[in-house]
Structure 1
């Protein structure tokens, strides 16, 4: 059974090595999540540990999906820092282990973040993803609206510039 958990800063540090494995697998299979291949596990673990301060401060929320004690997926919610943008946040780093894909886990992680955002008074979410990626199906299926695409916006893990598609979702006020 899969459990989705909103992690604290100390829990994030505890799960950093397992999250590093997820990040490395995600990059190795070609998903564009901000890192180039090859990505070594220690660099990935350090990156996760460095997010703990932001989690502690409340500027980033991180959720993990656990199956049998192992991290099978993750997602982050990055709050907008400026006073005129407190109503919005960015969804980032939605990752599901390749072996766990196709079972609705990405949609479940997305739903968990959306539910939390509503309780926090966030009424607008944005995100971006590589154009043509499988993630686009998840976002469209969850009611996200496409804004448009920007050519050559980010490099894939091999270093090739790819177009990125931007999405938004309006949430009901609490």
Structure 2
């Protein structure tokens, strides 16, 4: 009787076929938002196929795999009238749970299930926000006398030479 539980656990571990598929997933909910809100956006996969089109804010489930042993990559383009379009990318990364196939002897999971389902990869960027810049202005609108902090990549090239460093102590 005391031997049944360890034997059952050992059998379960040996018969585990796909560690990443069991413990993890192959679709990840990604939240898309923008400043200002209400921007339209499209999501294209690694093959340049449109997989989603909508308006911010929204959540979209995205696959982490693009095919057998191929991780997915997405290109997202945000746009709104009166603002410059902005393009961003999301790439899938290696999922550490995939290594569990080696430990638990799941060669079917290692060579077939996890690579086919895409579970051997994961999407870490589950929140994507785009700050749109007013067309021709170079900066997003602010309230009168307000301060706005933006990333250097959001400053148009023609205005970057006008930037001055802030002295620090």
- Normalising by structure 2, we get a TM-score of 0.23
Larger radius of gyration: 2
Greater relative contact order: 1 or 2 (C-alpha under 8 angstroms, separation 6 or more)?
2
- Normalising by structure 1, we get a TM-score of 0.23
